[in-house]
Copies of this chain bind each other. A is one copy, B any other.
Amino acid sequence: MRYFKSDNTAAVSREILDALGAANGGTALAYGADRWSEALNGLFGKFFETEVRVFAVSSGTAANSLAIATLCPPWGTVLTHAEAHIERDECGAPEFFSGGAKLSLVGGAGAKIAAADLESRLAWFEPHVHGVQPKMLSITQATERGAVYTPAEIRALADIAHARGMSVHMDGARFANAVVAQKVSPAELSWKAGVDVLSFGVIKNGGMNAEAVVFFKPEQVGDFEFRRKRAGQLACKGRYAAVQISTYLETGLWRRNADYANRLAARLAQAAPQFLSVPCETNQVFMQLGEQRIAALSREFGFYPWGPTGSGEARFVCSWDTPEEDVDALCAALRSLS
């Protein structure tokens, strides 16, 4: 079976495994007082060309939820896309971490929020105690359908949010894929466009079990560290989380891995453009194949059907370690579909 189920099924990049071994000698103070953890603020500061505060956590769900809980009160709501990971794939984690804040959904093709749709949704909220208050916008980069927000698109959304006193969160589980796809800098795709806090993905793109939460406005960190500890997300042997993240940045792994995965996905898209249900912009490919073609492909390839039961759509994800020959095989199979 050749797998295109998710970039979660990938292994860990050699650079990261080696770095874990290299960090393994002797004593290191626990709970983030080690030298790898202490270097993170500086490393990310260079990467993003601005002062930041960075915190390691064990999963993307934790990263998103802790960021949200820090900046959205229990009586607030997070405007987000109806297909967002925080809405559909985290089993209510944002609600749990935030003490019951709400997610308010906005539609849009490609799992992207359009500025006009954000405005319309916001028009429903009133500044009184009877309703929850919009306190945050959360967008995913790249989106759950592989699309990217351009710096200008982010800016337009962020301006709307900031004008309402809302902060802007970016779920960057595939942030590297989006940066590489657009040939822009990490800064241009985040704080320069108005992002306040970023869930910076490492795991899907070569990491093992560490993600980073990056605050671009240090004054917004607030009680994050208490919340992280209280959530069981402060690793006692902190060096093994920090070194994954720093290696990912320092060796350029983030770029190499994302570039590879994006290129493979582009080949899949080009093999059967007539089936694309969404343009392929990063490492995910969505195709409207119909149930019969899905069944046929499923004999040789592992992938997920997408959307509501019976929709006939399929998702194929390429990762940093997807074998070229698996892509060759899937391309051939796609081309042979009638």
Contacts and interface: CB of A to CB of B under 8 A. Distances in A.
Interface in A1-38: 3, 5-6, 8-12, 17, 20-21, 24-31
A10 B24 contact: no
B12 A237 contact: yes
6 contacts: A12-B237, A17-B21, A60-B232, A73-B226, A92-B101, A93-B229
Interface of A: 3, 5-6, 8-12, 17, 20-21, 24-31, 57-63, 65-66, 73-75, 77, 88-93, 95-103, 105, 120, 123-124, 129-133, 203-204, 208-209, 223, 225-237, 240-241, 307-310, 321
Contacts of A101: 92, 95
B236 A75 contact: no
Given A58-B58, A120-B308, A236-B60, A229 B74 contact: no
A310 to B, nearest CB: 8
Given A9-B27, A59-B236, A226 B102 contact: no
Given A8-B31, A61-B234, 19 more contacts: A6-B30, A8-B236, A11-B24, A11-B26, A12-B24, A17-B24, A58-B59, A58-B232, A58-B233, A62-B231, A62-B232, A73-B223, A89-B130, A92-B100, A96-B100, A99-B100, A124-B308, A203-B236, A203-B237
A17 to B, nearest CB: 6
Contact of A91 (B20, B61, B131, B308): B131
A190 to B, nearest CB: 22
Contacts of A130: 31, 88-91, 229
Nearest to A103: B102
Nearest to A311: B123
Contacts of A63: 232
A65 B25 contact: no
Contacts of A223: 73, 75
